[in-house]
Homo-oligomer: A and B are copies of this chain.
């Protein structure tokens, strides 16, 4: 059972997409979950009634019991600067929702709103586990095998070598708790398999990662190993890189995949709908949302263009993070007192 605070005003298609996502979640997911819709109550209430009288009339009664409306008068725009959103809009749906989580009134916060503002607000309100300077974002890349978790995907741009080790620890817990991978394998993104290949930070990070107990480090991987889902040494669950490279790759894949699918599909005379059905798994947004890793709590970041289905999936990620106690596990994994043996036990 998880209590999800959902940003009803966040994303390009709010409030329709978050509300529909919430109702899809209540219809589909097992467990006695509840959802707090945080936003301008009047707008949210009207939109909710329309949906309950329409597409979701089948679950209207259950939805009314499981949904609570929480007033938040301010709205963070997608274009607001993070610092300005924090200072200037203290009662935004983002700030109110995160505060409810921090105060124990909700177990997780989910938003498709302004990512920079969500990162900043989550860091300030939920705070970071000890040993971290900034939170990190892990994103799932579709591959020929299982999706590969890439982190950092944009939160940490100029990284010191020890930050790669933190990414490896954060990614290990994510892969275990959210993806259900056992002893997840980690690759360090570089320009050659050999440990001595890479830029200055990556070469140093390779040494630190190789000397870190309690993670399954497999050495360097290359760009080609991500779509393959594996290097010559076997399947890869996690690829660590700095947030500059991760963000460039993420936006590149996000644009290249639909371009190529569309090209081949048109050539073969397939309809757009057929393509989406068959290749939705190449659309990373279908994974729904990425937990902001390193904060004390659960803050799920969704793409601004998230569909109702993507937001439903983001809520699923939130529920799973709550149920697996992901944040607690991260805190333990990062704690300096973590002995290798204890860390190994964690993943067993």
Ordered by A's residue number, 5 sampled pairs between the chains whose C-beta atoms are within 8 Å are A144-B259, A228-B259, A244-B245, A252-B253, A264-B279
Query: Cβ of A233 < 8 Å from any Cβ of B?
Result: no
Q: In the complex, which residues of chain B have a beta carbon less than 8 angstroms from the beta carbon of A249?
A: 223, 248-249, 252
Question: A254 on the interface (CB 8 Å rule)?
Answer: yes
- Interface window among A14-22, A267-275, A302-310: A267-275
Q: Does A157 lie at the interface of the complex (its beta carbon under 8 Å from any beta carbon of B)?
A: yes
Copy tally for this chain in the complex stands at: 2
Q: What 5 A-B pairs have minimum CB-CB distances, sorted nearest first?
A: A223-B251, A268-B268, A223-B252, A224-B255, A264-B264
With A198-B157, A199-B157 as contacts: A248 and B222 at CB distance below 8 Å: yes
Cβ contact within 8 Å between A255 and B275: no
The reply on A250 being an interface residue by CB < 8 A is: yes
Chain B residue with minimal CB distance to A265?
B264
A223 to B252, CA, bound (A): 4
What's the least CB distance linking A162 to chain B, in Å?
17
CB neighbours of A154 from chain B (8 A): 191
Q: How far is the CA of A275 from the CA of B265 in the complex (A)?
A: 11
- A245: shortest Cβ distance to chain B, in Å? 6
Please name all residues of chain B whose beta carbon is closer than 8 Å to the beta carbon of A223 when the two chains form the complex. 247-255
Whether the Cβ atoms of B264 and A251 lie closer than 8 Å is no
Q: Looking at A250, A254, A255, which has the most chain B CB atoms within 10 Å of its CB? A: A255
> For A250, what are the chain B residues with a Cβ–Cβ distance below 8 Å?
223
Docked-complex contact A191 and B227, CB < 8 angstroms: no
| Contact partner, A227, options B189, B226, B252, Cβ 8 Å | B252
Given contacts A198-B157, A245-B248, A247-B191, contact A264 B268 (CB under 8 A): yes
A278 at the binding interface (Cβ < 8 Å): yes
Docked Cα-Cα span, A222 to B244, in Å, equals 10
Q: Report if A158 contacts B (CB, 8 A).
A: yes
Contacts of A255 in B (CB 8 A): 223-228
Task: Establish whether residues B253 and A256, one from each chain, have CB atoms under 8 Å apart when the complex forms.
Answer: yes
Could you give, for residues 146-165 of chain A, a 1 whenever the CB lies within 8 Å of some chain B CB and a 0 otherwise?
Answer: 00000000100110000000
For A256, give its contact among B190, B244, B245, B257 (CB under 8 Å). B257
Contacts of A226 in B (CB 8 A): 252, 255-256
The reply on A348 being an interface residue by CB < 8 A is no
Residues of B within 8 A of A224 (CB): 251-252, 254-255
